[in-house]
Structures are given as structure tokens and as C-alpha cells.
Structure 1
């Protein structure tokens, strides 16, 4: 006889786990079924190079999770199950080819002094922006935390009009529609400061000239100054292990190595799932799919023509290559020893270079000068490596999921099995130029190609770590499809969650928590 749960959830990413925990707390019996051997999706940690060296597979920055409404509600419970963070006072910096650097830290005088050395005018602008952040933050975070329905948007607009007036509301609207370049060039004079902040847009598929991307460099800069960053104690998987333990403690189940082959339906109502081993798991109240839009289509088949077309045409961002390094010591940064004290060091020298790299990857080319996000977690959490040793988390952006050629004309291979090593060497040559001697410190390395990221987690289509572009045509009310930004589908009792659903990518668990609150009625 088939086993029955109130809610059956497909995939054990942090959004589905957050949804499962909230529903379990509201008295629902939940079952989570994950195809991979380990729960967590892109948020997991392992010894991918050498024993004792713990590397975050994809996500490293847990600030959004730690600051989320979900964690506010369940943080104490997760802490009892072992969730622990490490605070970071120097969240990010950028190093530049001319030997200079700029960074953002929670010590405002330190940030301003660095900006002052580059541009006194920009230092003054930064000081003004940070002084106003407390007044602006509620509007932006209010938008990002709102249900994406017309009624919720109308209420948000009403509150904004009351607080900011017509002129202020129009200015906010213009800002939300602006590209990173438009806002950065209007606001700052020095190209290095523009690049320092503009690099954050690339994390969410907002190249410098993509409309709607200005908010993310602004928020990351302001939040980095105000709050810093947090990473997981011992690894990002601290949140996943705690979520799983909390769900089990509340009577739920989280089963890994359980591939879902289809969603069961009776007429236009979802009734459960079928697993690869032939088992049928029934759901009396909800089936929640933590999948990509195309992944949902594979499990459901046809539903409603307009919805199916939206899922079929859902666009993904260019991919990412990960390079995990076990090191004998942190990089010796040419721009200054101070860079060893930052969690992230971006190697993205200019807005023009970022735009070029993005266009090359969009065209299927291996970029001639990829952008590097160099994570130094052991600068803050020594537990991730043996004493005196370090791990380096290198995110190579952008990298095409399907290779059409090489923008530099050096790599002939068009399959990742052969292109991975030379492309990784290109990326590490950039790191070596900024931190001479780093190659000599490498004890072991593990390259993870875009296709390996997708094989491990099918939601990362072509290595797209944000599960879909956040461009305006695919964001807000349109993520993943008009009328379905709340995770609803045309099939009764079937819901979609994860980064492909509003409010989108990141570790904040917003899609899962918003959906679970809607289903539970609170």
C-alpha cells in the first residue's frame, strides 16, 4: 500500500527544506525526496580535494539565510540542531591590475579611507549613501519579501507613496529599472569603485548593461557595510544538516538517493509522486516541486498551454565553473596583505571587461578573461582545513554550458571533459597574476565544470547557479511565469518552489517560506 504524507516535496534544496520545516511546524506530515546522495542542492560541503579540507560545493555566503524572515522564525530551533555561523567583518574587495584594491568592511572609516585614496568625491558619496541606507532599506527589503501578487504590490506601492511621496516613488522606480552601469556611472566617478560594486551584479546574471540590475550592487554594498557577511561554521552545510534534523525531529522524513520520475495526477489534481524504484508516495494536500521549470515539465507532462510555454521558454543564465583548492597558505596578494582579511576578493577589473565576458559566455565562447570570485573562508573559519592550511573557493564566471568555441582562440576543445583543465589554467593564471606564488601553494585541486554542477543538481541547468536569469522579463510577477510567481501551477495541489520562483536565487529561503506560509495559512 502506498505511503501517504500531507505534503510531498521533490528535492532537498534549502527552499524545499525550509518549506517542509514550516509545514511540519504547522502540523503537516511531510516527506522530502532527493535524487542526490546528499541533501542541500547547491548548499553543501565536502572534502573535495584532500581529507580535512572542507569546501563549499557552490554557495558560500549565508548572509541572506541568516538575515531572512525564515531564520528569524526558526533560528533558535536550527541552532539547537547544530546550525552555527561565523561572522565576517570584511565581506568583499576587488583587486585591480594596476596593483590597487578597494574593499567594503563593517568598519565604515576603513571603507571610506580606501575610497578616499582612489577618489575623495566617491568617498563622500559613499558616506551619504550609507547614511541614507536605514531609510531606504525597508522599501527594498519590503519589496523583496513581498508576495508577488497584484494586491501585495498595490499595498507595497501605497506604503511607498505614503513614505516617499510621488517624486521619491518615481525615483525608486527608475532605480529599480536601471542597469548596474547606469546607476554606478551616475553615482561614482572612479572606475575601480564602479567595478567593485558592479561585480555583484554578475552573481545574479546582471551584467553591467542589463536593465533592472542596479539594486543588487547597491544592496550588497550597503548590506556589506552595515552587517558584514556570515559563513557557515565548518561549511555552508551547517544550515542543511540542521534543517534536515529539525524536520526529522518534527516527524518528517528526508530521503536521499530517491529519484522522482513523475508526478502522479488524477484529472487536474496532483496526488503524489512515483520514484525510480517503483514506489508511489501519495500526498493528501500538496506536492511541492523544488525543480527548475523545465524539470517540472518533465515530471508533469502537459498542463495548460500558456503555462507550459512559459516553462519551456524559461531562460537560464550562463554557467559557472568551480575550482576548489587546498592550499599551504592564503594567496599573497600583490595589491596588499590586507586582502587576506576579506571573505571574497573579486577579480573583475572593469565594467567593460564584465560586459565583454558576459557576452562571450552568452555566445557560447569560453571567455578570454573570465571573472573570478575568490573565496577565502579559512581566513575566518580555521575549522575548514588542517592547522596552518587553507581552502580557496574560486568561482569562475562566466562559463557557457555548451561550448561553441574559445574567445581567445587557444582552446580547441568544445566538450567540457577536454576543455576543463585548460580553462581552469586560464583562470588560475589570472589569480597568479594578482597573487604571485599561489600556484606553488596548491596541495590539490578539484575542478567542477558547468555540466558536473548540473549532473549533481539538475536545477543548475548548464551550470547556471541561480536557476534562471533574473532579467526583468523573468522576474517579479514573471518568475517563472505571469500569474505563477507564488509557486502555483495550473494543476491543483501542485506547487513549484526554489530559485526559479519569486523572489529568486540566493540563500534566503524566500520562495520556500512564502509558499509554505501560503499553504499553511500563516
Structure 2
């Protein structure tokens, strides 16, 4: 063995880095090995189009990280290492045909005015929900932030029963089982308000009619109203650079551009890793920040039931990223007000979202994909030369493997050939809401689902959330029953990342929970 560590970590995604950072701060000797040239996984910022234009590769919204237990615990150290955020007071809006739009701002009066243009009753409902959010938030965030084992789940149920009573607890359980459509249609009357909130379900693989998805439109709406959004100053990679510096400052090691060939075992225990260059690294604990399906390749197999669960782990449809360097912000048909929002969703109805999702699930290029249009330079001008802008366009959904085209226009069934025509479809859609957008483009870089997976094998088929969050694969079942803490049948081998509870997003939840568990807090 060439080196020996308390813990070695496979992959430098933000969850693995959070675990390594926490352990290093607790005095552990740690080393992180990443096959890509850059640390960060889906959280990276690069000059993808032209010099001076900094584009977030995949993740842009850092609200979950900025509000996470991990950041609160290590805020002073991370800030000292350069982590910095830019507050966003207008987090999201949706544009509709006919020059209509609706958006959420941290100014409650502004938000209710926006909603009242569509429905006075919905504006009153929004105010009621906001007033009740402080009472509901501890229960919901308590669930999402807790360890997901039987004892923790039982404690959550008991605490909820004490706080809400039997009737209130049953109402909460029913809400957690509802689909976005069921919740939104019984709560709001305006189709546009329903669509504005329903678009958030698509970020986590919850199409309008998928059970268990009501929570996310509600939480994103209420959190956007209460807290706004946080993006990284200079780019989302601010948190990655800070964690890497912090790990190294506390004696740890982060190596990029080197793949891990296999996990070494001593009997029934993990004892280290072997790198692709032949080096063997000894460790008391091995933490694998990989997609579940990759684990058997590294271990050579564990227990049949566990290995099958990892192979059966289901991924969400993929995404395609379009990064644009712009001469100026889009001229939205709905008016200049949309230029002041971080996200503009182009997802005009629940029915359209459901259709798009079904087409992608069937392996078809959607005839009308959903676009999440990010305008980070509205709040952080440092990401582009003076007066210029970057546009972050997330195309949802896109099949990892193309079987056909829902519109019957694109004949290509491989991403290298389908990328250009599908990009043109997305830009034509964008042009319908922001006329003349093509004339503003100074540079363009497209990242297909296969590009995402090639750069980061955890994003199987371009799935940016590393696994569906449907009920059968969430909570006590993420990634598999009995393993929500990242444990595996091999002693001292642990799994982390978005595939492990509490799942996707930039909150570093699984990495921090694992780091606390190993270090004893």
C-alpha cells in the first residue's frame, strides 16, 4: 500500500466533499479521488462558450446548501475558504402565452399582486399558506433533515402526533402522498398559478400525476417566498472550491483525473482502494460517491439481494443543458419584469408537463420540452463581461436513450446527431416567449444527457438527480430498505450522494449525515 488514510472517498461530488470536509475537521486523515478533471460532480462552473462567460455546468441554485445543516455547522471555515453567495429576491416565475406571467418574490405584497392578476381567491390562498408556513415548516424540514431509519421515522411520527394531533398528522400523511396535480387543483383555481408551482415537481422527477410529489411545489413556493434563492458568487463552484481548500488545509488530499479501479477488501471489510494507475490506498473506511449501479463493478459483488437492489435502482429521465453567452438579456414578450427573475419556467400547463414527461419516459424526444431558463447575471454580473450575460437553459425532459421523436421531425436516435435539431426545437420554443433571442447569442455550448453521464457517471442517462424520488424509492427506501444511511453489506464501505437519503439537491445531506455518523458528530 502506497498510502494509508482514515477514510478514502470515491468521487468528488458535493456530498462526498462534505463528508470529507467534516471528517477532516474532526481530525481524520482523508483522501478524495475523482475520475473527472474537475471536482464538483454536477456542481461546476466553467467558461464553456467564450472567455469571461462563466456557466454553471448543471446545478445553479445553491439555496439548499446555503440553508443546510452542513453549512451552518462549518460556515466560518467555508467562508474563510472563499464560499460566498448572492441573495436572490425574485427566485422564480413562469411565462405563458399571450404575454402573461406570474412570479414569486420575497416581497409578499408583490407576489400576491402577481397572483391576483389571475385570481383574487388564489392571492388570498397564497397569503394563508404563507401565514401557516412557519407552523408547518418544522414538521416538513424535520422529516427531510432526519436520519431515515425506523427509530428516527418512529420519532418523527410521535413528534408529529404530539404537535399536530391525530387528525393533523393524518392530513400531513395524506398531503405527502398526493400528486402535484391533486394538491394544486384543490388549492388554486387559476391554471397559471398551478403551472407556476407545478413546474418545481419536474425538477425532482415528479410529473403532475405522480403520487408523492405535492410536497415539492409547496416547499419551493413557500421557501421562495420566505427566503428567496441563493446562487454562488462567481459561480456555483464557489462551494466546491471552498470545500477542496478546506480539506487540504486540514491535511486531506483531493486528486482529480484519476479513476478508482476497485475497492479492496480484507475478509468482510473494506480495506482501501486500487486506482487505475495501479496505486493501492489503504483506509479504515471507504466512502463511494457513486450511482448504485456502479457499486458492484467496484466491489465484485456483495450480497445478492443488495446487489439486485442496486442494479434495480431507477433513474429519472435525463436533461440537456444549453449554455448561452448573450449580448443582452432576453426580451421577454411578457415584459421587462421577467428580466428580474433568477428562473423563468417555460412550462405553460400541468397537462403539457405530464405529456412531456410521458414522452421522455417512452424514450421520445418531447415535442414541447420544459425549459428552465436561468438568468444568474441579473444578480451576479461577475459571471460575464460588463453589460453581457449568461443564460442557463435546462431542457426537461430528455431521454437518455432516444427511441424516436414525439413530433415526428427528428430522425436521429443518437445524441451526437440529435443534439442540434433538439437544441433548435428548444431555442424556437424560447424564441416564442423571448422573440429575437437568437440574434443576442454570442456563444453556445450544448451538454447532452450522454455528455453529462460521460463527465459524471452518476448522472445515468443524463439524470441530474441521480435517481427517481418516487415514493417506492424515497424516504425509507432510498437507495434501498435498510440502507438509507449509506451502509452496505461490506463493513466499513459506505455509499453517499444523491442516490442516498435525503436525495437530490445541493444540500449535502447524505454526505453530512454520513460524516457525522462516522465521526460521532
* Aligned residue in 1 for 2:165: 165
Deviation of residue 441 (structure 1)? 0.1
Q: What's the CA shift string for 1:231-283, capped at 9, x where partnerless?
A: 00000000000000000000000010110011111221111111110001110
* Aligned residue in 1 for 2:387: 388
* Aligned residue in 2 for 1:301: 300
SS of 1:273's equivalent? Answer: strand
* Aligned residue in 2 for 1:37: 37
Answer yes or no: is 1:106 the counterpart of 2:123. no
* Aligned residue in 1 for 2:266: 266
* Aligned residue in 2 for 1:16: 16
Tell me how many residue pairs correspond in the alignment.
Answer: 521
Q: What's the CA shift string for 1:294-348, capped at 9, x where partnerless?
A: 1112111210111111001010000000000000000010011100000000000
Q: Pairwise mapping of residues 123-142 of structure 1 onto structure 2 (< 5 A)?
A: 123-142=123-142
* Aligned residue in 1 for 2:236: 236
Deviation of residue 25 (structure 1)? 1.2
TM-score of the two chains, using structure 1 as the length reference: 0.99
TM-score of the two chains, using structure 2 as the length reference: 1.00
Residues in 1 aligned to 2:193 and 2:233: alpha-carbon distance in whole angstroms: 31
Deviation of residue 171 (structure 1)? 0.3
Q: Pairwise mapping of residues 61-460 of structure 1 onto structure 2 (< 5 A)?
A: 61-284=61-284, 286-460=285-459
Answer yes or no: is 1:519 the counterpart of 2:518. yes
Q: What's the CA shift string for 1:329-378, capped at 9, x where partnerless?
A: 00010011100000000000000000000000000000000000000000
Answer yes or no: is 1:25 the counterpart of 2:25. yes
SS of 2:97's equivalent? Answer: coil
SS of 1:127's equivalent? Answer: helix
SS of 1:118's equivalent? Answer: coil
Residues in 1 aligned to 2:336 and 2:461: alpha-carbon distance in whole angstroms: 36
Residues in 2 aligned to 1:329 and 1:486: alpha-carbon distance in whole angstroms: 46
Residues in 2 aligned to 1:521 and 1:477: alpha-carbon distance in whole angstroms: 22
Residues in 2 aligned to 1:344 and 1:469: alpha-carbon distance in whole angstroms: 23
* Aligned residue in 1 for 2:49: 49
SS of 1:162's equivalent? Answer: helix
* Aligned residue in 1 for 2:463: 464
SS of 2:432's equivalent? Answer: helix
* Aligned residue in 2 for 1:489: 488
Deviation of residue 98 (structure 1)? 2.4
Deviation of residue 385 (structure 1)? 0.2
**Dislocated runs of 4+, deviation >6 Å:** none
Residues in 2 aligned to 1:267 and 1:318: alpha-carbon distance in whole angstroms: 38
Residues in 2 aligned to 1:191 and 1:178: alpha-carbon distance in whole angstroms: 18
SS of 1:163's equivalent? Answer: helix
Residues in 1 aligned to 2:305 and 2:139: alpha-carbon distance in whole angstroms: 32
Deviation of residue 520 (structure 1)? 0.9
Q: What's the CA shift string for 1:417-457, capped at 9, x where partnerless?
A: 10000000000101100000111000010000000000000
* Aligned residue in 2 for 1:507: 506
Answer yes or no: is 1:475 the counterpart of 2:474. yes
Deviation of residue 26 (structure 1)? 1.2
Residues in 2 aligned to 1:72 and 1:78: alpha-carbon distance in whole angstroms: 10
Deviation of residue 86 (structure 1)? 0.4
Deviation of residue 66 (structure 1)? 0.1
Residues in 1 aligned to 2:448 and 2:78: alpha-carbon distance in whole angstroms: 32
Structure 1 gap ranges (5+): none
Q: What's the CA shift string for 1:382-407, capped at 9, x where partnerless?
A: 00000000000000000000000000
SS of 2:373's equivalent? Answer: strand
Residues in 2 aligned to 1:301 and 1:481: alpha-carbon distance in whole angstroms: 19
